[in-house]
Structure 1
Amino acid sequence: MKNNKLRTSTILVLAILCVTVVFPIITLLMSINLADFKEVFGSQQFMTLLKNSVVTTLIATVLSVTLAMTLAWCLNRSNMKAKNIFSVWFTLPMLIPSISHAMGLLLLLGDNGILTNVLGINIGLYGYTGIIMGSILYSFPVAFLLLTDSYRYEDYTTYESAQVLGLTKFQQFVSITLPNLKRPLISAFFAVFTMIFTDYGVPLILGGKHMTLSVYMYREVIGLLNFSKGALIGTVLLIPAVIAFIVDLKQSSSSNQSTVVKPYNIQENKLRDVISTIYSFVMAFLVSLPIMAFIYLSFVKKFPIDMSFSLDNIRHSFELGVGSYLLNSITIALLSAIFGVVITYFTAYLTSRNSGGKSKMVLHLIAIITLAIPGVVLGLAYVLFFNGTFFYRTLLILVLVNITHFFASPYLLAYNSLKKFNSNLEDVSSSLGISSLKMLTDVYIPCTQDTIIEMFTYMFVNAMVTISAVSFLANLRTMPIALLIPQFDSQSLIEGAAFISVLILVINLIAKLIINVYRKYAVNTVVE
C-alpha cells in the first residue's frame, strides 16, 4: 500500500512536469514554420546576430569567471578583514534585473553619463563594450558563489605534502588548486555562458546597432507577433544551454568527490592580505557604482538637464501605477516561492527517498533538464502551449512559468540534502509502522529546514528580478514591476526606470533580512 501511494505520487508529479516542461517545449518546436528556416538561417542578418551573440558572450564569460575566481580566492585564501561583508556585497547584483545593470552603466558611461560628463571621456558604451560590461556585472555573482563553495572543500593535507616536496605557492596553485577547481570552473563557465547568451536585457539597452539573437527574438515576438521566427530563434538559444547541461551532467557523473581530512590553513602573509583587501574593495566599489547611479538618479529632477533633488519622479511613477505592479511582483514572488518550494521539495523526496524504478529516473531527468531551458525560450513555449486556457491572462501562469524556470536549482538543493540521510531509513520506518508522510513531516522537513529556507530565498529573489520568462506572458493587469524598466526606458523615463530598480533591490534586501532573522530563530528553536 505504501509503495502504491508513492508510485501514484510519482506518476502525478511526472504528469505535472510533462504539462509544464515537456509539452510546451514540444509545442514550441512544432510551431516552427518550415518556410522561415531559409528566411532566417539564409540571411546575412542571422550570421551577424550569431556573431554578435557568440563574441560578446565568450568574452564576457571569460572575464566574468576570471573576476569571480580571483574574488573567491581573496575571500577564501587570505586573512583579509570583513569577509562576510564582502561576500554579501558581491552578491548584490543578483538582487536586481540584468536590465538594471545596463541602465546603471548607461547613466554612468553613456553619451550623457555622469562619469562621461565629469571626466570628459566617452568610452563608446553602445555595442560590444556595453554588452560585455553589463553582462559581467549581473553574471559574475553566480560564478562567485559556485567557486567560493568549492574553495571551502579543499583538503589541506595535499598542500602540506606539496610544501614538504618544496613546491612554491604558484606551483601549488597550478598543480593542486586549479585541478581541484576544474569541475566547478566548467560548471561556472557554462552557467554564466548560458545566462549571458540568452539574456536580452543588457543588449536591449546597450547593444546599439549590435543586435543579438535574444534581442531579435524579443522584438519578433513582442513587436511583430511573429511566433514562428521567435520559436526558431528560441531553438537556437536552446542549443548552447542543452550542450552546457550535457557537459555539466557528464562532469557530475564522472567526477570523484574527495573527503576533506583537514580544512585549509591560511598562513600569515600581510602583503597578500593587503592586496586582497584593496582588490576586493575596488571591485566592490565598481560593482556598486551602477547601483549607486540609479539610486542617485531616482532623486533628481531631470537627467541630465536638471540634477537638483526632487521627488517628482517617484510621485510620477506611482501615478503611472508602479504601486500595483509592485504588488503584482511581490504576489508572484511569494506564490512562486511557496508553491515552488512545495513542488520541488516533494519531487526531490520522491526521487531521492524511494525506489521508483524508471518513473523515478524520468522524473529526476525532467527536473534537472529545466536548468537547460532559457527563460526567454520557456516564456515563448508557454505562450504557444497555454494560449486560450482559463489562466492564460492571469497571475497564475506567471507563477507557473517562474516555478518551472527556477525549478532545477532548489530541486537539486533538496535532492542533495535528502540523499545525505541513511539509505536504510525507509526500511526501518516501514518495519516500525511509520508512514511515509510521517517520516516526511517529522524527520526530513525539520532536519532540512535550512535547505528549505535557501530554496525559498532563491525562488523569491529570482521571481522578483526576472524579465525573461514572464515578458511574453504578462499584460497590463498582471505585469510584474521589473518589466516596467524597458517600458520606461523606451519612453525616455529613465528616472522612473532607475526608481523601479531601487524598489526591486529594497524589496529583495528586506526579504533576505526577514528570512535571515527567521533562519536564526528557527536554528535556535531546533537547538533548544
Structure 2
Amino acid sequence: MRNSWKIFSLFCLAGAILLVAVPQIWIVVSAFRQDGGAFTIQLRQGEMMLVSEDVQRFIPRTDGQEDITLERPDGFAASVSNKGDNRIVFKTSGPLTIDPSSAGSRLVLNSDNASFVVEQTVPMSIFGTPTAPVFEARPVDGAVEITHAARSFIRFHDRALSFSFGNFKEFLSRSVYLEAIKNSLIVTIASTVLASIVAVPLAWLVARYSFYGRSMLIALITMASISPPFLGAYVWRMLLGSNGLLTAALGLDWTIVGLHGVIWVIIWLIYPLIFLMSLDSFSSIDPTLRESALSLGATRRRAFFNVEIPTSLPGVLTGLYMAAMAAFSDFGTPFIISLDLVILPKLVYTQFLNETGGNVSIASTGSIIMLIIAMMFLAMQRVVLAGRSFASVTSRKSELDRPGTALKWLIYGFGAIVIGFAFTPHVFVAITSFLEWRAGTVTTVMTLANYSTLFTEQLNAVWVSLSTAFAATMLCMVFGLSIAYMIVRKRFRIIGPALNGLVMTPYIIPGTVFAIGFILAFNQGPIVLTGTWFILVLSYFVRMLPFSLKTSEAALYQIHPAVEDAAMSLGATPVRVFLGIVVPMMLSGAITGLTLVFLHSATELSSTILLYRPPWTPMSAVIFQNTISPGANFGYAAAMSVLMMVILYVPLAYITCSRKKTLV
C-alpha cells in the first residue's frame, strides 16, 4: 500500500509540475525573450523620413532626406538610403538575402543575426488605392533594393529572438510601467490599511461581546463578498460618477472615477477577509492570558494592546495578507472605475490582448514583476511572525460579555454602516434587474424582460459556470483529501514538501498572471487546451486547490492514527480504511474548503477573462462584458448577477451555519 501511495504521490507531483511549474517557466522564458525591434519610414514626394513613434529598440543616428541610419544597443546597425524613382536600398551589419517566402506587400530579408519582415502600407487617396501597389526587391552588393509605391509607409521588423534582461530594463525605465507599479502599490496598501481600520475593531467587538443579531451580522458580512467585485465598481460609478444618480441629485461637482474610487470600492471588497480571519483569531485567544494581565494590575487598554493584539497577530496578519493579494490582483475594479488609470493587472491584460500587434514579452515581464511583489508581501508577513510564539496551553474559549447600552448601540451603528456600504451594490443590482434600460441608460419602467432574456438566451453561461465550478470542486475534493493524507500521514521526505509547495504556489499568483502562464503553456502542442471548457476547469482546480488542501489537513490532524490502526487490526485493508473511515471523517471538516472552492470558481474573473472563448463563456465573463460595453443593457447583467447570488447563497449558508456553531 505504501508503494501505491508513493506511485500516486509521484503522479500528483508530475501533475503539479505540469500545471503549476511549467506555465510559470513559460512566463519566465517569455519575459526574457526579446525580438530585434521595429521601425517605420514614410516616403512622400521624393523625401524619406523616420516615423519616430514606431521606433522599437533601434536608435536613429541620422535622419535626412537621403539616409536614415539606426543601431541597437547590441551594436547591430541598419540603414535605409533613398535612391529616387520610388527606390530605396536597405543595408544591415551583415549581408542580406531575400527569403523565398516573400510575397505581395510582405518581404522577408535574412542576415546572419536578424530576420526582417518588411511590409508596405499605401494610404487611401481621393482617387483610390492601386489594386496591386508596387513592392519588389532585388539583391544589390549584399544589400537589398526595394521598389515601392509612391506615398507609402514601409515597416521593418526584426523577428529574430534573443534572451536578455532588456524587457525588465524597459519595464523598469518607462514611465507608464513605473506608474502602473506605483498605482498598484498605492491601491494595495491604502485599501488594505483602510479596510483593516473597519474590519479589525468590528471583529474584536463581535468576538468579545454577545448581543442580539450577532450571528446575522457575521452572516451578512460573509455574504457581502459574494457578488463579482467589478459589479461594485460599476454601481458606485453609476451612483457617484460625474453624472451619477447621487452626485446629480445632491448637485455635487465631484466624481468617484480615479485612484481614490478604486481604493473606495476595493475596501468593501476585501474587508470581509480581514474580518473573518480576525474574528477567528480573536475568538481563539486563551482567556487566561487576559485574566492574568488584569490580575497583575494591567488596565483593560494595556491588556488589549499588550496581550490580545499580539496573541491574535497571526490571524490578523493572514487576513491582511489575503486582503492585500485580493486588492493587488483585482482586475475588474480599476478597469471599470477609470479607463485612464494604469495599474499592473490591467496593464498586463491589455498588453497580452494586443498579442497580434503588441508585446507579449512585456506582458510576461509585468507578470513576473507582479509575482515578485506578491512574494514580497508574503515575506513581510513571515518576517513579522518569525521567531515569535503565539501558541496557548489551553483550548478553553472566552465567555462572551454582555455589552453596556452605549457600547451595544455603538456596535449596532458601526455594523449597520459597514453592512450598508458593503450591500449597496447588491441592493442596487437587485433593483436595476427589474428596470428597463435603453441605450445604456436606466429608466423607471418596471420589466421582467431582463430575466426573460437571461433564461431564453444565456442559460449556456449558467451551465458553463456551474459545470466548471462543480468539476473543479470534485477535483479539489479528490486531490485535496489525497494530498493532505500523503503530507500528514505518509510524510515522504522529498515528494511531500515539494508537492505541498507546488500546490500552495498558485495561492500567491495573481489570476491574470496565472492565466497568461496557462495560455503560453497550452496554446500549442503537444497539449492544446486554450479556448476549451477543460482549461477553465483546470485553472479553477489548480488555483483553488489550496483551500481544499489546508482544510483537509486541519481535519486530518484531528483524526488520531489509532483509529486507522484499530480498523486494520480488525482485518480491514488499507484501501478500505482510507475510503471507508478516513475520507468520511476528513470530508466533514474539509467541506468548508470545498464550498469556498465552488464559490470562488463560480465568481472568478481575473483569469477567466483571458482563458474563456465562446461557446465556453461563464456568467462572470457575460456580466463583465455587459458591464463595460458602451450602451449595453446593464439590467441584463444585473439579472444574471442576481441569479448568481441566489445560486451561491445556498452553499454559503452552510459555511455561515457551521461558523455559528463554533463561535456562539
TM-score normalised by the chain length of structure 2: 0.74
1:231: how far off?
1.0
What corresponds to 1:269 in structure 2?
403
Given the alignment, which residue of 294, 311, 332 partners 2:448? 311
Counterpart check, 1:230 vs 2:230: no
What corresponds to 2:207 in structure 1?
76
What corresponds to 1:342 in structure 2?
478
Q: Secondary structure at the match of 1:7?
A: helix
Query: Residues 378-397 of structure 1, C-alpha deviation per residue, up to 9 Å, x if partnerless?
Result: 11100000113344332111
Distance 1:306 1:369 in 2: 47
Identify if the C-alpha distance between structure 1 residues 200 and 261 changes in structure 2 by more than 3 Å, giving closer, same or farther.
Answer: closer
Choose between structure 1 and 2: higher strand proportion. Answer: 2
Identify if the C-alpha distance between structure 1 residues 377 and 416 changes in structure 2 by more than 3 Å, giving closer, same or farther.
Answer: same
Counterpart check, 1:300 vs 2:435: yes
Distance 2:651 2:286 in 1: 35
Letter in 1 for 2:594: F
1:354: how far off?
1.0
Distance 1:350 1:241 in 2: 28
Query: Residues 67-103 of structure 1, C-alpha deviation per residue, up to 9 Å, x if partnerless?
Result: 1212212211122211111111001232121111112
Please say which of residues 473-482 and 431-440 is displaced more in the overlay.
431-440
Given the alignment, which residue of 613, 617, 620 partners 1:482? 620
Please say which of residues 293-302 and 9-18 is displaced more in the overlay.
293-302
In structure 1, stretches of 5+ residues that fail to align are 524-528
Identify if the C-alpha distance between structure 1 residues 109 and 513 changes in structure 2 by more than 3 Å, giving closer, same or farther.
Answer: same
What corresponds to 2:635 in structure 1?
495
What corresponds to 2:52 in structure 1?
none
Identify if the C-alpha distance between structure 1 residues 316 and 434 changes in structure 2 by more than 3 Å, giving closer, same or farther.
Answer: closer
Distance 2:288 2:628 in 1: 57
Letter in 2 for 1:257: A
Q: How well do the aligned residues superpose, as a CA RMSD in angstroms?
A: 2.4
Distance 1:263 1:355 in 2: 32
Choose between structure 1 and 2: higher helix proportion. Answer: 1
Counterpart check, 1:403 vs 2:403: no
What corresponds to 1:259 in structure 2?
393
What corresponds to 1:60 in structure 2?
191
Q: Is the 8 A contact 2:219 2:656 kept in 1?
A: no
What corresponds to 1:327 in structure 2?
463
Distance 1:370 1:508 in 2: 23
Identify if the C-alpha distance between structure 1 residues 122 and 92 changes in structure 2 by more than 3 Å, giving closer, same or farther.
Answer: farther
Distance 1:515 1:187 in 2: 19
Identify if the C-alpha distance between structure 1 residues 260 and 113 changes in structure 2 by more than 3 Å, giving closer, same or farther.
Answer: farther
Identify if the C-alpha distance between structure 1 residues 207 and 502 changes in structure 2 by more than 3 Å, giving closer, same or farther.
Answer: same
1:38: how far off?
3.6
Q: Is the 8 A contact 1:154 1:260 kept in 2?
A: no
Instruction: Count the aligned residue pairs.
Output: 518
1:304: how far off?
4.6
Counterpart check, 1:290 vs 2:444: no
Structure number with larger C-alpha Rg = 2
In structure 2, stretches of 5+ residues that fail to align are 35-165
Identify if the C-alpha distance between structure 1 residues 254 and 19 changes in structure 2 by more than 3 Å, giving closer, same or farther.
Answer: farther
Distance 1:246 1:491 in 2: 39
Given the alignment, which residue of 480, 489, 492 partners 1:356? 492
Q: Is the 8 A contact 1:139 1:192 kept in 2?
A: yes
Q: Is the 8 A contact 1:328 1:479 kept in 2?
A: yes
Identity %: 22
What corresponds to 2:307 in structure 1?
176
Q: What does residue range 388-467 of structure 1 map to in structure 2 within 5 Å?
A: 388=524, 389-423=527-561, 434-467=572-605
What corresponds to 1:11 in structure 2?
10
Please say which of residues 218-227 and 178-187 is displaced more in the overlay.
218-227
Distance 1:159 1:437 in 2: 47
TM-score normalised by the chain length of structure 1: 0.92
Counterpart check, 1:22 vs 2:21: yes
Distance 1:343 1:426 in 2: 20
Runs ≥4 residues deviating over 6 A: 514-517
Please say which of residues 390-399 and 309-318 is displaced more in the overlay.
309-318
1:211: how far off?
1.7
Q: Secondary structure at the match of 1:301?
A: strand
Distance 2:528 2:350 in 1: 27
Q: Secondary structure at the match of 1:406?
A: helix
Query: Residues 258-312 of structure 1, C-alpha deviation per residue, up to 9 Å, x if partnerless?
Result: 1335421333332222211221122111211111111111121236552221233
Q: Is the 8 A contact 1:135 1:196 kept in 2?
A: yes
1:345: how far off?
1.3
Q: Is the 8 A contact 1:126 1:206 kept in 2?
A: yes
1:449: how far off?
2.8
Letter in 2 for 1:22: A
Identify if the C-alpha distance between structure 1 residues 103 and 253 changes in structure 2 by more than 3 Å, giving closer, same or farther.
Answer: farther
